[in-house]
Amino acid sequence: MSYFSELAFQYIDGEWRAGSGSWDIVDFNPYNDEKLASITVATVAEVDLAYRAAERAQPQWAATNPYSRRLVFERALRIVEDREEELAAAIITECGGTRVKAGFELHLAKEFLRESVHLALRAEGRILPSPVDGKENRVYRLPVGVVGVISPFNFPFLLSLKSVAPALALGNAVVLKPHQNTPICGGGLVGKLFEEAGLPAGLLNVVITDIAEIGDALIEHPVPKVISFTGSDKVGRHVATVAAANFKRAILELGGNSALIVLDDADIDYAVDAAVFSRFIHQGQVCMAANRMLVDRSIAAEFTEKFVAKVKTLKVGDPADPATHIGPLIHAGQAESITTLVDQTIADGARALLHGATDGNLVGPSVLTDLPVDSPVLTQEIFGPVALVIPFDDEDEAVRIANATPYGLSGAVHTGDIERGVRIAQRIETGMVHVNDGTVHDEAIVPFGGEKQSGVGRLNGDALVDAFTTVKWISIQHGRSQFPF
């Protein structure tokens, strides 16, 4: 099927329909600027229709036997497996992701669907003792009701599914708003997947729109009880503020500024391979990407030489070409922003070991070192193909540099002594650290999330039960209570 023509609609209450807004979101291929789709935006009224449809459908879904609910996710998994090539082509076309990136995204998407099959059975209650004779305390795990999901452009299919599938598996309904740069992979494809998998109408609704049209209606609406947002910390702060003002729970997966630390006893060649992948996968447009390579000064020269040499072998170009390592950034504004950032950092005193050229949305990789200690680029997220190489003198300095950022999502430590690596990992202020590996990892059963400005809450595994259910205490008095009056 032609996803970009057939899915360029809103999906509300089981129907594919045009939005009623006065303007269109135009979906472009970031590599060649080909127009892929034009989607009339959803209005506040349609956001309301989506939430009301979810509200109506959810109680019956929650009452459905979880063994029956999980069949939907088994069918969804088979659909992804059967159409993997088609889905990969859509991801490459709309996101500018390479074939490696598309494969990585779909592999994880399948893992999260597999986990959702089991998650449907995991909302376990408890029976707790009471100091009151004859009293029984039951604590039930119940669906929250309706969940609002806002997903990003970088891994749109995966990061929509990552909240949508678990929320549905646990008995909730969902309204999904994908990023306006990836409305099909992040929205329409997810809606179509569950429609074909037999999910009853109204349980998943997809609204293609923008804050310029609906303001905060998606968050402020009275129906959703949880908002799951993945994106920038700037927008995440706003989502959290509006959600709190409306007494809603916010699950926030935000940006990062990860450090990959290479100690003096590390396998340098292996560390180089991990660093290059961790920095340049999907053009660096990954929240877990290793912005900063922190290298023990005794091996810095060797590491840097080998790192730069490997980066020079990366091919920049058409993401549909299997030989391409670095495709386009998502849009011209991002390409211009990264180009300006590199030029300004060099002007401020950094030394360019490699200075990538910009051609449209294609931005070649840059490697910078000798950065001034007050360089702004050291503390911010760089959502593009720019690596910083920073030497350190001892473990304490490595930890200090790694923590000198408002972010705290991921990280890595390379060493010949695993327990030494674990000791350092425990000192790094992030939600995730990987010893002798890259910084870009996600596993369906392991808690995923960050510290500081990298987010609030966790996803994956048992953390999903906490995210998308609520607890209810029901006590039963066997016999008669004694009251003081």
Q: How many residues in total does the chain contain? A: 485
The dihedral of CA 432, 438, 440, 443: what is its sign? negative
Give me the phi and psi of 36, to 5 degrees please: -95, -40
pLDDT at 1 (0 to 100)? 46
CA triple 178-181-183, angle to 5 deg: 40
Interval 216-229 mean pLDDT: 98
DSSP code string of 214-257: HTTHHHH-SS-SEEEEES-HHHHHHHHHHHHHTT-EEEEE----
Amino acid at 336: E
Place 482 in a pLDDT band, splitting at 50, 70 and 90: confident
Mean pLDDT of 94-116: 97
Residue 441, C-beta contacts closer than 8 angstroms, at least 6 positions apart: 288, 410, 432, 434
Percentage of residues in the chain having pLDDT higher than 70: 100
Contact 186, 151 (CB under 8 A): yes
Query: How large a percentage of the chain has pLDDT more than 90?
Result: 99
The string of DSSP letters for 164-227 reads HHHHHHTT-EEEEE--TT-TIIIIIHHHHHHHHTTPPTTSEEE----HHHHTTHHHH-SS-SEE
Does residue 14 carry a pLDDT above 70? yes
Q: Which two tokens stand for residue 249?
A: 């729970």
The Cα 451–Cα 468 span in angstroms is: 20
9 Cβ contact partners less than 8 Å away, ≥ 6 residues apart: 16, 17, 18, 19, 39, 188, 208
Average pLDDT, integer, range 336-354: 97
Q: What is the spatial distance between Cα 255 and Cα 253, in angstroms, rounded to a whole number?
A: 7
- Residue 76: predicted pLDDT: 98
| 287 carries an active-site annotation | yes
Q: Is pLDDT at 462 greater than 60 in this prediction?
A: yes
- 459 secondary structure, DSSP code: B
So what's the pLDDT on residue 336? 97
Domains of the chain as residue ranges with CATH: 3-254+454-473 (3.40.605.10), 258-435 (3.40.309.10)
3 state DSSP class of 304: helix
Catalytic residue among 115, 253, 381, 395: 253
Q: What are phi and psi of 366, to 5 degrees?
A: -120, 145
Given 94, 115, 213, 287, the catalytic residue: 287
Mean pLDDT of the chain: 97
Digit-coded pLDDT (tens) for 19-30: 999 999 999 999
- Mean pLDDT value across residues 138-155: 98
Q: Averaged over 71-91, what is the pLDDT?
A: 97
Query: 2 pLDDT exceeds 90?
Result: no
